Structure 1
């Protein structure tokens, strides 16, 4: 089971999906495209704990989504 963690102003939301379920996989990919299209940065953690930016959906990765930073 893979997880997409979405960080926003309310904290974080977790979306779990089974990579072998076509419907769940399609929802996860749509979520990836929607969030990155809205300016969220998608990243995965390396085994050492560092973040690695990702630009394409990987159904086997646990992904973190960070909102665009806004200055002011």
Structure 2
């Protein structure tokens, strides 16, 4: 089971999906594209535990973290 973790001003939300279920996989890809379109950055964990930014949906990623654009001012 894979998880998409979305960080925002309210904390985080987690969306789990089965990578071998075409319907759930399509929903996860729609969520990915929507969040990227809203300005979120997506990242996956490497083997060493570091984050690696990604720009396209990776159906093999066990965990994808989405975090909002930093706003300064």
Root mean square deviation of aligned Cα: 0.6
How far apart in 1 are the matches of 2:22 and 2:45?
25
Residue ranges of structure 1 left out of the alignment (5+ in a row): none
Q: TM-score, normalised by structure 1?
A: 0.96
**Equivalent residue of 1:56, what SS?**
coil
Residue ranges of structure 2 left out of the alignment (5+ in a row): none
Q: Which runs of structure 1 show a deviation greater than 6 angstroms over 4 or more consecutive aligned residues?
A: none
Provide Cα deviations, 1:9-67, integer angstroms capped at 9, x if missing partner.
Answer: 01110000001111100100000000001100000011111110001101111100010
